[in-house]
Amino acid sequence: MEMFRRMLPGPQPYDSLYGNFKWSVPERYNIAHEVCDRWADAQPDRLAIIHKTADGALERLSYGELRAHADRLANGLRAVGIAKQDRIALLLPQCPQTAITHIAAYKLGAVAVPLASLFGADALEYRLNTAGAKAVVTDAGGLAKIKGIRDKLDQLEVILCVDGADGEAKGFDAFCAGQPARFETEDTSSEDWSIMVFTSGTTGPPKGALHAQRILLGHLPSIEYSHEFFPREGDLMWTPADWAWAGGLFNIMLPALNYGVPLLAYNFTKFDPETAFALMEETGLRNAFIPPTALRMLRAVDKPSQHYNLNLRTIASGGESLGRETLDWGREELGLTVNEFYGQTECNYVLASCSAIGVTQPGSIGKAIPGHTVGVIDDEGNELGPGEQGQIAVKRPDPIMFLGYWQRPDATEEKYIGDWMTTGDQGTIDKDGYISFVGRDDDVITSAGFRIGPGEIEDCLLRHPAVRLAAAIGKPDELRTEIVKAFIVLNDGHEASLDLEKDLRGFVREHLSAHEYPREIAFIDEMPLTTTGKVIRRLLRDKG
């Protein structure tokens, strides 16, 4: 039996790969079966996860062990009333329990709701309540945040902590112990719910992008393409990106397990380039998704190929613009071409480069990956020709595309112009099909690979007693692409000071997230507003 189930035939000219590709989406499909059960049945001892622990040890987990853990968890959750379509939140770093919980959720036919460990109490309260999460699996750090908002989480019934029992929270291991080691995975449709990932927008609170079980299948051609006809013998996948984000989850964690390729897990509390290179050397890493900001940080290490015995075969990068200098550095220092890709939480990984077949062009974010129809359109949904600037859009139906925004049919409808799903990103396409990113026609801030909606930051700042008005923009930054800059109009009785700046930064870090706090703050006397009261961010960006 061909366990890899490759979607692409192998290296061929782009036109042949793209023109001959046809989707075959089965009626019945379950992510847990694809990433765990079928491997555990056929090769239970096959290596699934390598976990680099905080004390430096390398722990290994086989597919047989992975299924036994996931089945016990699924049995335990079902016993306490968690059922199909219920939402199970994950507030965990990169660790085996994250993969185990995802698999258990899909086995139940439930919906996994990944949440970043960076989130503060306010961000968690909103997402947990909006999703209607009935269960959450977390660690001690996440539990401390949940305790502070527990009385506001009316729908939450079960709390599991991987670091052991604490108050209401049951210990993860104890909860699973004694449960049967076999669970019959739910027979789900490819259209059944599977994952909800919250995505930031420019106005209003974050929206939950709900995906179907087919989301994994939709990613497979993209992985094979940008990782140069993955998998190959000896491949080993890793990303420094949090598995709670679309990039870490859809581009690495689930695909690696699907293909039977070992998945490397390591929790960076703070990304360190020397540690990253040492990790690559120690494990013999072959394939990585490394966001552009992390790649730029890796560039700070002098001649890494001379100091580390690296075995890299492919690097894919996306989430922000890569840049020619980083591309050249990869070729000179790592001996490979970084393949850039593009997508959104709602429809991830639809454009990419593939240097193995000569599809790479500096300054471009690649061509449409086989299976996806991507164009540049005008406001009426008409495709534009070479060199004409418009909005990058993806045509439905597409198995990688989301089902819609959770409980927001209005926002879902607004996302489309006819059959085109709009991205809010401006671009151009050339005569050869390469698409180049020009800029956003919304105000989402792209910082270190994170897409940050200014609305949450502004709402948080407005709760500070010193703040009367607040606006957040992205300011260009060489390392992070953009940093968050906040413009503040103060309430009477408060004066601008360095101490107040520090206090405001800490306020956002504590209440919202460590990646969303404003690195720069400017105090202004008057906020530029339209006649309808909207902030004119263009004028703020002009201020720099």
Please tell me the total number of residues recorded for the chain in this structure.
Answer: 544
Task: Quick: pLDDT tens for 143-169.
Answer: 999 999 999 999 999 999 999 999 999
Query: Does residue 449 surpass a pLDDT of 90?
Result: no
Query: Does residue 189 surpass a pLDDT of 70?
Result: yes
Query: Does residue 525 surpass a pLDDT of 50?
Result: yes
Query: Does residue 532 surpass a pLDDT of 60?
Result: no
Fold adopted by 62-213: Rossmann fold (3.40.50)
Amino acid at 93: P
Residue-averaged pLDDT of the chain? 93
- Given this chain, do its domains 62-213 and 445-543 carry the same CATH topology? no
| 129-143, 444-458, 512-526: range with highest mean pLDDT | 129-143
Q: How confident is the model at residue 1 (pLDDT cuts 50, 70, 90)?
A: very low
Strand partners, 112: 88, 195
Across 400-427, average pLDDT: 96
Distance from C-alpha of 89 to C-alpha of 112, rounded to nearest angstrom: 6
The set of residues, in sequence order, having a beta carbon less than 8 Å from that of 29 and lying 6+ positions away, is 188, 189, 190, 213, 214, 217
- Residue-wise burial string across 371-404, b where 16 or more C-beta atoms lie within 10 A, e elsewhere: bbebbbbeeebeebeeeeebbbbbbeebbbbbbb
DSSP 8-state assignment for residue 44: T
Distance from C-alpha of 118 to C-alpha of 441, rounded to nearest angstrom: 27
Question: What are the residue boundaries of the structural domains of the chain, listed by start?
Answer: 62-213, 445-543
Fold adopted by 445-543: GMP Synthetase; Chain A, domain 3 (3.30.300)
417, 393 contact by CB (below 8 A): yes
User: How big is the CA angle at 365 (ends 362 and 371), to the nearest 5 degrees?
Assistant: 135
Distance from C-alpha of 329 to C-alpha of 340, rounded to nearest angstrom: 14
Across 236-264, average pLDDT: 96
Query: Does residue 541 surpass a pLDDT of 90?
Result: no
At 25 the pLDDT is: 96
User: Helix, strand or coil for residue 65?
Assistant: helix
Strands 133-138 and 87-91: parallel
Task: Quick: pLDDT tens for 172-188.
Answer: 999 999 999 999 999 99
Task: Quick: pLDDT tens for 288-300.
Answer: 999 888 898 898 8
Task: Quick: pLDDT tens for 212-234.
Answer: 999 999 999 999 999 999 999 99
Amino acid at 33: H
